């Protein structure tokens, strides 16, 4: 399964040259697949990516409190000064790029 998830990360990177990173975390926030674009210097370290994944999963979990009234969260978007972050709920995990 990990190879398929790695392929998914590669496919995401191929969608647009502005995508620098694609990663998939499980429901506990553990990064199970990830890939940085080869022609750019990663902004976060792998440890920072793991920390961000855990926090993303926790934030997505807090949104579950409102699902009965608002429906299930599909994605979130964060705009940083130097980057953008999108987090998508995907099957049983969180995919973000």
Q: How much of the chain exceeds pLDDT 90, in percent?
A: 11
pLDDT of residue 1: 47
DSSP string, the chain: -HHHHHHHHHHHHHH-TT--EEEEE-TTS-EEEEEE-TTS--SS-HHHHHHHHHHHHHHHHHHGGGHHHH----EEEEE-SS-EEEEEEETTEEEE-
Burial class from Cβ neighbours inside 10 Å (0-12, 13-18, 19+) for residue 96 reads buried
What CATH number does domain 2-96 carry, 3.30.450.30, 3.30.930.10, 3.50.50.60, 3.40.50.300? 3.30.450.30
**Is the model more confident about 56 or about 69?**
69
Mean pLDDT of 40-69: 86
State pTM to two decimals.
0.75
Distance CA 48, CA 14 (A): 23
Q: Domain residues of the chain, as ranges?
A: 2-96
């Amino acid at each position: 399964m990990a190879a398929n998830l790695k392929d998914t990360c590669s496919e995401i990177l191929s969608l647009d040259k502005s995508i620098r990173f694609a990663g998939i975390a499980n429901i506990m926030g553990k990064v199970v697949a990830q890939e940085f674009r080869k022609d750019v210097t990663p902004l976060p370290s792998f440890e920072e990516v793991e920390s961000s994944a855990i926090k993303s999963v926790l934030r997505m979990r807090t949104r579950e409190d409102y699902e009965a009234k608002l429906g299930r969260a599909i994605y979130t978007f964060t705009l940083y000064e130097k980057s953008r972050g999108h987090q998508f709920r995907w099957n049983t995990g969180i995919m973000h790029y």
